Amino acid sequence: MDLKSKIILIYGPTASGKSSFAIKLAKKINGEIINADSMQVYKELKILSARPFKKDYQNIKHHLYGFQSVKKNFSTGDWLKLVNKKILQIKKRKKIPILVGGTGLYFKSLTDGLVNIPNIPLRFRKNIRSLHKKLGAKNFFSELVILDPLVKNRIKLSDTQRSIRAYEVKLFTQRSIYDWFKITKSKYEEKDFFKIYMDYPRNELVDRISSRAEEMIKKGVILEVQKFIKLQIRKDKTANKAIGINEVRDYLKKKILINEIIEKISIKTRQYAKRQSTWARGNMQDWNKMNPIQLKKFLKKF
């Protein structure tokens, strides 16, 4: 299989061994690895985000890992700008870019393009959220369908976040969010990519998630979160969403025991893995779906 002209994308649920597989593939095809995980960009969350350690790099260049401060937000748009530059640089070196991670929106922005909706003022957005609260979900959704008929049968009444977003976009830009989607294009063509979705059996993934939670404790995740808490990060910063921060915080406040940290992190991580798999089913039908056995056979081709 000739992958020399391709940009390789590797997506899978958390703890499915994406980083390890990417390193093995990079060794075989002269590749360099680019991070596509929204939490692994933060330098202060090395253990909590399961970021590859330097010893794991094994002489393979890794890009966009641990470079961003948790004090700053890092958007999909920010990532896309940087990743486009990295892909170009890697190709100029006659190497193959391998993007690996579990943030579906990152991959979608690369393959489909990023919707270039004008920035909507925060005060305007707050007004729409207040309107949703005042009307209630059902009445708000009815108003939304009148305002923007294109959302009908595309957004569920129960999907509060998407309903509010569609409402504010239509009201502010005078164009449906789906009209914005139509004019969105990627700078790449479909043939530029080779897409791999790592499909790990659920029971094996559950065991791997539990083991990783235990390993985090051994590696010093409690100290890492202590340092994070001391930074007094504002609540609206993305890094606060990292699984494990609240659990360790509760442990430090003596609300839970050490074994409960592992259990709670494992439960939340399993829930997150399920959401990642759901994303894949809805957005990655054209990806090469491979289980662990198929992944081994794939590596043997090179």
pLDDT at residue 32 in the model: 96
Distance CA 59, CA 6 (A): 21
Please, where are the H alpha helices in the chain?
Answer: 18-29, 54-57, 76-92, 104-112, 122-135, 137-147, 160-173, 177-182, 202-219, 221-230, 245-252, 258-283, 292-299
Q: Are 50 and 22 in contact (CB under 8 A)?
A: no
pLDDT at residue 15 in the model: 93
Q: What are the sequence ranges of the domains in the chain?
A: 7-113+186-299, 122-182
Domain 7-113+186-299 CATH assignment equals 3.30.1330.10? no
Residue corresponding to tokens 């390193």: 23
3-state secondary structure of 210: helix
pLDDT at residue 73 in the model: 87
In angstroms, the first-to-last Cα distance of the chain is 7
Instruction: Choose among 224, 257, 256, 255: nearest CA to 242.
Output: 224
pLDDT at residue 113 in the model: 92
pLDDT at residue 162 in the model: 87
pLDDT at residue 205 in the model: 94
pLDDT at residue 119 in the model: 86
Token representation of residue 37: 């995980």
Architecture of domain 122-182: Orthogonal Bundle (1.10)
pLDDT at residue 161 in the model: 85
Q: Are 262 and 269 in contact (CB under 8 A)?
A: no
pLDDT at residue 94 in the model: 95
pLDDT at residue 80 in the model: 96
Low-confidence ranges of the chain (pLDDT < 70): 1, 56, 58
Distance CA 236, CA 51 (A): 23
